[in-house]
Amino acid sequence: MNRPVIRYSATTHVGRVRKVNEDAILATPETRVWAVADGMGGHAAGDVASRIVIDQLAMLPEGLAPGELMQSVREALHRAHAQIRDEARSRHVDTMGATVVTLVLADGHFVAFWAGDSRLYRFRHGEVEMLTTDHSAVADLVTAGEISWDEAELHPLSNMVTRAVGVGEVLELDKIRGEVQRGDRFLLCSDGLSKYAGFDALRRLVPRAPIETVTDTLLNRALEGGASDNVSIIVVDVM
């Protein structure tokens, strides 16, 4: 397609329980990159870890060709992984990390990289599709058909992620790519939203909301539900 018009809305909120917002977000239409990073709760300096991830992505230059941009995003996440591990050693802590989900739009296609349970959804023709698969202790139960993703959010092990930037010797990223159609709407979010907005709620709330208010609508949904975690939301429209 010809170069589309991109509109977006983004917000992050500490929630109703936490004292510190350990989420961080990036919205840079100039480089065609959007990202949500969620510092691992219960571990040291999750806010520092998520900020390192976003800072590395924020340094990407404008004007990269699609292939270069995709490779640069991957390299930025690996640099963040190394930097977080160095920071953990300097703080003498065993575990420090952040989940991440990224969206790159280029040349009529999207590419997403992710590690952990921050998610990317696509809304097309009124339907919602979860494009990422959580790296979590309960993900295998979902892929085996034993429970749904909505039920996984209520599982006692729902917060136990199996991959994150900064955790482990080697960063394992998953990737998905596909074609973009005009009218597509993408949602990136931390698990602070997905705990309170299942597929039915997303299908009802997201497609009909104007881009100017959609993130506020979703944030209010999480806050009304109790918002026990930080909440980060980015919505990107392709027009």
Sheet order of strands, 119-124 included: 6-13, 231-238, 185-189, 119-124, 127-130
CATH number for the domain spanning 198: value is: 3.60.40.10
Q: Band of the pLDDT at 1, cuts 50, 70, 90?
A: low
Q: What is the pTM of this model?
A: 0.94
159 vs 233 pLDDT, higher one: 233
pLDDT at 87: 95
Q: Is residue 37 a part of any domain in this protein?
A: yes
Q: Report the distance separating Cα 24 and Cα 39, nearest Å.
A: 8
Q: Band of the pLDDT at 144, cuts 50, 70, 90?
A: confident
What is the sign, positive or negative, of the torsion defined by CA atoms of 121, 48, 222, 236? negative
| Count of domains observed in the chain | 1
Q: Report the distance separating Cα 44 and Cα 131, nearest Å.
A: 30
Q: Is residue 1 a part of any domain in this protein?
A: no
Q: Is residue 135 a part of any domain in this protein?
A: yes
Question: Burial code of 123-147, b = ≥16 C-beta within 10 A, e = fewer?
Answer: beeeebeebbebbbbbbebbeeeee
pLDDT at 120: 98
Instruction: Say if residue 68's pLDDT is above 90.
Output: yes
Average pLDDT over residues 202-216: 97
What percentage of residues in the chain have a pLDDT greater than 90? 85
41 vs 144 pLDDT, higher one: 144
Q: What range defines the domain where residue 136 resides? A: 6-238
What count of other Cβ atoms lies within 10 Å of the Cβ of residue 61?
10
Q: What pLDDT, in 10s, does the model give residues 17-50?
A: 999 999 999 999 999 999 999 999 666 799 999 9
Instruction: Say if residue 203's pLDDT is above 90.
Output: yes
Q: What is the mean pLDDT of the chain?
A: 94
- Name the 3-class secondary structure at 177: strand
pLDDT at 44: 72
Among 81-85, 91-95, 131-135, 171-175, name the one with the lowest average pLDDT: 91-95
